[in-house]
A and B are shown apart, each in its own frame.
Chain A
Amino acid sequence: MQLFVQRLFDALANGSTYALVAVALVLIFKATTLVNFAQGELAMLGAFVTLVLAYEQGIPMWLAVFLAMIILGVFAAGVERVLIRPFDPADHLPLVIITLGLFLGINAMAGIVWRFDPRSFPELFPSGNAFTWGSASLRWYTVFTVLTVLVTIGLLQLLLNKTKIGLAFRAVSSNLESSELVGIRVGPTLQFGWALAAAVGTLGAAVYVADPFRQLEPSIMLRVLIFAVSAAALGGLDSLWGALAGGIAIGAIQSLVVPYVPFIPNELGLAAAVVVLMLVLLVRPAGLFGTPAVSRV
């Protein structure tokens, strides 16, 4: 029982970080119906920038994270302008190839600059346990990670639903042509989406590697990206709260289902998550919380 509770806590911690990266994916997907495969690498880059700011410039940790979010936001805005905007948004294949190229490019660049050996990352949250029950313990890290996700999604909801740029973003997500016809500048609006996504992704990566059990290295986000894509798809790809639910569900599959179902070897945790995802999508193609593609004419 205590082991079960411990695994539940693990699911919560992992799931929340997947959710943060999933939220970043959802932001881009909402606007462009495109899964940005470079999202994880952008986030990894953000974590390295945080590290440089904190260690080499001596900036306080949370301020370093915040600055890295802004830097990555600006960087992603530049990427959108130079690599994405020249292409027809309706033609997905070239765009997917570009995000894959970005993925490889950023990964290689990070490897050249920072090498591939893992580095320790400073903690963002208090260490120790918030609550212990026998051998099961709820770490402060988990508590704060969950809080970070909730606050992030809450703020994003406010931004999307209560501000003018948020309205423009939702309009572009809903109908690109009509957005132009009401006077929205579509390019800059999508650019804003890219910047926002990169900032949220950076936060996700920083929180992920701030777990004292983890270290930062250029390929750290590979697994996370796969889990995050699954989480986003499970949640419906266009729903922020869906991304959270999807993230927690994927976290649960990873730390609850895999250990309890004897015929799934531990190494297949990743695959198990994807299989569950496929099963859900078979039954509900729009994911758990997604908007079904029904339109009346």
Chain B
Amino acid sequence: MSPMLEVKDLRGGYGLVKVLHGLDFHVNESEVVVILGANGAGKTTTLRAISGMIQTTGSVKLAGEEINSAKPADIVRKGVAHVPQGRGTFPELSVEDNLTVGAYARKDNEVQADMDKWYEIYPVLFERRTQTAGSLSGGEQQMLAVARALMSRPELVLLDEPSLGLAPLIVEDLFERFAEINKKSGTTLLVVEQNAQLALGIADRAYVLEAGTIAIEGDAADLIDDDTIRKVYLGI
């Protein structure tokens, strides 16, 4: 069976600035895979390439189907959700509208039921459902961003530094939620993180990205134990 996501020789960047120099990696179905790397290594660029936000060469296959030349709107409809770095909520829209628009690509009639489910998981979103997303705290916005992404009922979720700027307790809660989403519904997660320890804690496998290429790959458990890797790449 082909993996959920298979990336081969991915190259590209922003105009003349080349950021990715031939990436190869894959994510199996129902796996949690984390991509670690220093600032500017190209983590965000990699996720943007997968969801079709930038032009790249190479191959990106989703469950065996080539999607590298597809448009973002079509990639969403194939089951990929993307929580961008910095949350990517709609600040002028109400919390409720943010969730509704998250289900924009869906055609079934269970949107309301899903929304109620998220309100149950995050009661604070229910309390603030008429408030604009821009008025939420950072932690609440991240909850909203995650809920919004999952409103599309994705098979693969791309999470770009979800821990950024959040208090340790909130981050822990968030990662527990990711693990739970993965276990309960088998949703595949590809997480980009600086917080290596926490991310490796919920991941099956990990890649370390260095200046646009994969420098190291392995099982999360092995990486967390490897002393050189801990010192050089993860700083823990």
Contact = CB atoms under 8 A, between A and B. Distances in A.
Contacts of B105: 182-183
Given A170-B93, A296-B138, A182 B86 contact: no
Contacts of A175: 88-91
Nearest to A170: B93
A182 B134 contact: no
B108 to A, nearest CB: 14
Interface string A119-139: 000000000000000000000
What are the nearest 3 A-B pairs in CB distance? A183-B105, A183-B76, A174-B90
A167 B97 contact: yes
Contacts, number: 78
Interface of B: 51-53, 71-73, 76-77, 81-82, 84, 86, 88-93, 97, 100-102, 104-105, 134-138, 141, 148, 152, 165
Contacts of B135: 296
Given A177-B84, A180-B72, A183-B152, 10 more contacts: A167-B101, A168-B101, A170-B93, A170-B97, A171-B90, A175-B88, A178-B90, A183-B73, A296-B137, A297-B86
B134 A171 contact: no
A57 interface: no
Given A168-B104, A170-B97, A297-B86, A182 B91 contact: no
A157 interface: no
Contact of B91 (A167, A174, A180, A185): A174
26 contacts: A167-B101, A167-B104, A168-B104, A170-B93, A171-B93, A171-B101, A174-B91, A174-B92, A174-B93, A175-B89, A175-B90, A175-B91, A178-B88, A178-B90, A180-B53, A181-B82, A181-B88, A182-B101, A183-B76, A183-B152, A184-B73, A291-B92, A296-B136, A296-B137, A297-B86, A297-B138
A180 B71 CA distance: 9
A294 B134 CA distance: 9
Contacts of B90: 170-171, 174-175, 178-179
A291 B105 CA distance: 28
A173 interface: yes
Given A178-B84, A182-B102, A295 B91 contact: yes
B93 A182 contact: no
Contacts of B84: 177-178, 181
Q: Pick from B52, B81, B82, B92 the residue with the most CB of A within 10 Å.
A: B92
A181 B88 CA distance: 9
B72 A181 contact: yes
Contacts of B82: 181
A179 B76 CA distance: 11
B104 A182 contact: yes
A236 to B, nearest CB: 12
Contacts of A181: 51, 53, 72, 76, 81-82, 84, 88
Contacts of B134: 294-296
A168 B101 CA distance: 7
Which of B72, B100, B105, B134 has the most CB atoms of chain A within a 10 A radius of its CB?
B72
A181 B51 CA distance: 8
Contacts of A291: 92
Contacts of B72: 180-181, 183
Contacts of B77: 183
Nearest to A168: B104
Interface in A171-201: 171, 173-175, 177-185
A167 B92 contact: no
Given A174-B92, A177-B88, A297 B165 contact: yes
Contact of A167 (B88, B89, B100, B137): B100
Contacts of B102: 182
Contacts of B73: 180, 183-185
Residue of B71, B73, B141, B165 with most partner-chain A CB within 10 A: B73
Contacts of A295: 91, 134
A297 B105 CA distance: 27
Contacts of A174: 90-93
Nearest to B88: A178
Interface in A205-228: none
Contacts of B88: 175, 177-178, 181
